[in-house]
Amino acid sequence: MAVFSSLADRLQETFRKLTGKGKLTEADINEAMREVRVALLEADVSYKVAKDFIAKVSARAVGSKVLNTLTPGQQVIKIVHEELVALMGSEQAKLAVSSKPPTVVMMVGLQGTGKTTSAAKIANNLQKQGRRPLLVAADIYRPAAIKQLEVLGEQLKIPVFSLGDKEKAVKIVRAGIEHAQKHGNDYVIIDTAGRLHIDENLMTELKDIQAAVNPHEILLVVDAMAGQDAVNVAAAFNQELKIDGLVLTKLDGDTRGGAALSAKAVTGCPIKFVGMGEKMDALEPFYPERMASRILGMGDVLTLIEKAQKTIDIDKAKEMQAKIRTAQFTFDDFLDQIEQMQKMGNMQDILGMIPGAAKQLKDISIDEKDLVRTKAIVQSMTQEERERPEIINSSRKQRIAKGSGAQVQHINRLLKQFEQFKKMMKQFANTEAGKKGKKGKNLKGFFGNMPFLP
């Protein structure tokens, strides 16, 4: 079975027929919405949530005037995107703070979603803000779950309270909170065992804990890779416990993450944190715009433009484009690009934001670690080498290697990539230039002034 092309590509195809009209007609919208629906479902947004969403957006889009700065296609994308962002919560929600410490936070969720790791990350986050968190190990079922929390606590120098796995979870949690009160901990993070939402006994255990200690915040941990069942799970946990927020984990994977939308829609709870890796500092606040674009699989079009306008010097960008077109692009410019991009944020994110570019650049390695090395290599080049890389012979390579701490093979690879990149950029710039006349007439027009990246 063939791989579905991205929504952006498909929408562009659909919208090619629409250009030039003044108003969005029902037929236009219906055609576009079919594509949006498929995109949502392929992203694992719940069937029902997708259906409701489409109905709502269609109603808003029909008859809306097409702004003269946008094409009808862009207009629909904008509306879909805005509604998606609105649905996911436009404001960032923070962790609760109790006026009477300790603030008690309880982590709940299915097996294997990442509760223990998230509990430790949240505690780490709090500690960095000058708080004094205590972790409480209440997963008495999974082998070595307590030990896992203890190891993480030790790494982070955060205390972990446990009574082993022979005591009831309720007792452990009660004692944990007393311990926190005695020791001046202002936050208590409770790690509970993973459980199925249909497991009556274990759901009762959670309710017992809730009744005993009345947590200020119950966080449901949801795996970003979850499928259609995510709504059932989120609804059940919410019904039993009235949860306060969501933690979305494993978002550093290549999942589109539609479960985020499902869980949000069905519980009404904000996504408070996002897990972006296995390291203890890989916990981020939730950005609805990013998530909306990711679910649509079309790149973070609107935010990118905003962001780019803020961080990128437009004159510089124009200059860069001219250079690229005339193939005068040097390693200095390359370095400049890297720095600009680092300023804008995570490389992978940015690449994901650019529909056309993401596809073309897929083969080029963009590991952050590589970036650091690339920067070091370029910085070890002389001015002449940066401008005319063709003069870099093997003795020069040796010197650059020494200066940058990289190996000669890295330098070779970079030189080759630079050449390829230049070639590709030239092509790209040419097509952009060719389209200048009808700028804004299609999606690519959005990126007329975007400098592209290494």
Partner 1 sequence: MGLLNKLRQGLGKTKSNLSERIQNVLTLGRKIDESLYEELEEVLILGDVGVETSLALVEKLRSRAKEEKIKEADQLMGLLKEEIAVILASGGERGLQIEPNKLNIILVVGVNGAGKTTTIGKMSYNLKNSGYKVLLAAADTFRAAAIEQLGIWGERVGVDMIAQQAGSDPGAVVFDACSAAISRKADVLIVDTAGRLQNKANLMAELNKINKIIEREAPEANIQVLLVLDASTGQNAISQARLFSQAAPLSGLVLTKLDGTAKGGVIIGIINEMGLPVKLIGVGEGIDDLKDFVPEDFVQVLFEEANI
Ligand X SMILES: Nc1nc2c(ncn2[C@@H]2O[C@H](COP(=O)(O)OP(=O)(O)OP(=O)(O)O)[C@@H](O)[C@H]2O)c(=O)[nH]1
Residue 8 C-beta: closest distance to partner 1, Å: 17
Does the footprint of ligand X cover residue 112 (CB under 6 A)? Answer: yes
Which one among 229, 240, 336, 387 touches partner 1, defined by CB under 8 A? 229
User: Per CB under 8 A, which region of 94-102, 109-117, 331-339, 353-361 contacts partner 1?
Assistant: 109-117
Q: Which residue has the tokens 């790791």?
A: 117
Does the footprint of ligand X cover residue 323 (CB under 6 A)? Answer: no
What's the Cα-to-Cα distance from 103 to each of 181, 245, 452, rounded to whole Å?
10, 15, 46
| Residue 204, Cβ density class (10 Å: 0-12 exposed, 13-18 middle, ≥19 buried) | exposed
Does the footprint of ligand X cover residue 144 (CB under 6 A)? Answer: no
For 86, how many CA atoms within 13 A lie in the half-sphere containing its CB? 9
Q: Do the Cβ atoms of 131 and 187 come closer than 8 Å?
A: yes
185-204 residues near ligand X, rule: CB under 6 A: 194, 196
Q: CA angle at residue 235 from 234 to 241, to 5 degrees?
A: 85
Calpha distance 256→39 (Å, rounded): 10
Does the footprint of ligand X cover residue 279 (CB under 6 A)? Answer: no
User: Per CB under 8 A, which region of 60-68, 110-118, 400-408, 418-426 contacts partner 1?
Assistant: 110-118
Pairing of strands 283-284, 271-275: antiparallel
Residue 291 C-beta: closest distance to ligand X, Å: 24
Residue 277 C-beta: closest distance to partner 1, Å: 9
User: Per CB under 8 A, which region of 105-113, 354-362, 398-406, 432-440 contacts partner 1?
Assistant: 105-113
Residue whose C-alpha is closest to residue 190's, from 262, 115, 130: 115
Residue 183 C-beta: closest distance to partner 1, Å: 23
Calpha distance 373→208 (Å, rounded): 53
Does the footprint of ligand X cover residue 111 (CB under 6 A)? Answer: yes
What's the Cα-to-Cα distance from 125 to each of 95, 118, 129, 214, 282, rounded to whole Å?
11, 10, 7, 23, 10
* 339: Cβ contacts below 8 Å, ≥ 6 apart: 375
Binding string, residues 26-65; x marks residues near ligand X by CB under 6 A: ----------------------------------------
- Using the minimum distance from each CB to ligand X, give the nearer residue, 36 or 193: 193
Does the footprint of partner 1 cover residue 207 (CB under 8 A)? Answer: no
Residue 130 C-beta: closest distance to partner 1, Å: 25
Residue whose C-alpha is closest to residue 107's, from 118, 91, 99, 121: 118
Does the footprint of ligand X cover residue 142 (CB under 6 A)? Answer: yes
Does the footprint of partner 1 cover residue 114 (CB under 8 A)? Answer: yes
Residue whose C-alpha is closest to residue 106's, from 43, 189, 30: 189
User: Per CB under 8 A, which region of 96-104, 148-156, 397-405, 444-452 contacts partner 1?
Assistant: 148-156
- Using the minimum distance from each CB to partner 1, give the nearer residue, 309 or 365: 365
Instruction: Give the relative orientation of helices 7-16 and 26-42 as an angle to the nearest 10 degrees.
Output: 170
| Residue 236, Cβ density class (10 Å: 0-12 exposed, 13-18 middle, ≥19 buried) | middle
Binding string, residues 27-66; x marks residues near partner 1 by CB under 8 A: -----------x--xxxx--x-------------------
Residue whose C-alpha is closest to residue 293's, from 43, 13, 66: 43
- Where along the sequence are the contacts to partner 1 (CB under 8 A)? 1-2, 4, 38, 41-44, 47, 110-114, 141-145, 147-152, 155, 196-198, 223, 225-230, 232-233, 250, 252-256, 258-259, 278, 365, 367
- Where along the sequence are the contacts to ligand X (CB under 6 A)? 111-112, 142, 194, 196
